[in-house]
């Protein structure tokens, strides 16, 4: 007869990952809302780390509100990106990108000044060039998913 580990030991033995959640927001011209973090050399989508016990879609809504002052509903999951462990990060990252819709380019953006230096609405092709090369596929995947109506897995 098979011997099974007690649940707490079994769960402790499973692999874990870090989670992050982002919102794809575009203006009426299809330009992508990007933010410029003061702690990185590259721009990114509004979003950030999923907190302990927090659902990824709720983390997206919280992060978008904190970073750019917009109350948005995290809609369809557009893209999921898996990033391998590297450097000082011993676990993989799973990054979710949710569709947070379209806003007017004149909408009031209130930056989280302790983390962000700027924001911009950028044409999709140019937006991918502003992101770190490892993150650009997350944006292109999300844009493809939005246009085709299917979630994209980015590895």
**Is residue 77 in some structural domain?**
yes
What pLDDT, on a 0 to 100 scale, did the predictor assign at position 58? Answer: 98
The mean pLDDT value for 4-16 works out to 91
**Is residue 4 in some structural domain?**
no
Helix boundaries (H) for the chain = 7-13, 56-68, 124-130, 136-148
Average pLDDT of the chain is 96
Q: Could you tell me which residues come within 8 angstroms of residue 45 by beta carbon, excluding any fewer than 6 positions away? A: 22, 23, 24, 32, 33, 34, 35, 97, 138, 139, 142
* Residue 145 structural domain: 16-154
Give the model's confidence band at 24: pLDDT under 50 very low, under 70 low, under 90 confident, else very high.
very high
If one compares 52 and 155, the residue with the highest pLDDT of the two is 52
**Is residue 88 in some structural domain?**
yes
CATH label of the domain that carries residue 26: 3.90.79.10
The mean pLDDT value for 125-136 works out to 94
The mean pLDDT value for 27-33 works out to 97
Residue 2 pLDDT exceeds 80: no
Residue 9 pLDDT exceeds 90: yes
The mean pLDDT value for 58-64 works out to 98
Give the model's confidence band at 57: pLDDT under 50 very low, under 70 low, under 90 confident, else very high.
very high
What pLDDT, on a 0 to 100 scale, did the predictor assign at position 155? Answer: 85
**Is residue 6 in some structural domain?**
no
């Amino acid at each position: 007869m098979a011997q099974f580990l007690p649940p707490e030991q079994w769960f402790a033995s499973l692999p874990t990952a870090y989670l992050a959640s982002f919102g794809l927001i575009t203006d009426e011209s299809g330009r992508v809302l990007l933010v410029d973090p003061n702690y990185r050399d590259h721009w990114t989508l509004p979003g950030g780390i999923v907190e302990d016990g927090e659902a990824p879609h709720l983390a997206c809504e919280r992060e978008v509100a904190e970073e750019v002052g917009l109350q948005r509903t995290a809609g369809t999951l557009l893209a999921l990106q898996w990033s391998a462990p590297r450097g000082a990060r011993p676990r993989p990252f799973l990054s979710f990108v949710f569709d947070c819709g379209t806003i007017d380019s004149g909408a009031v953006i209130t930056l989280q000044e302790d983390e962000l230096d700027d924001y911009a609405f950028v044409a999709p092709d140019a937006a991918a060039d502003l992101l770190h090369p490892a993150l650009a596929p997350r944006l292109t995947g999300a844009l493809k998913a939005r246009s085709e109506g299917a979630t994209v897995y980015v590895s």
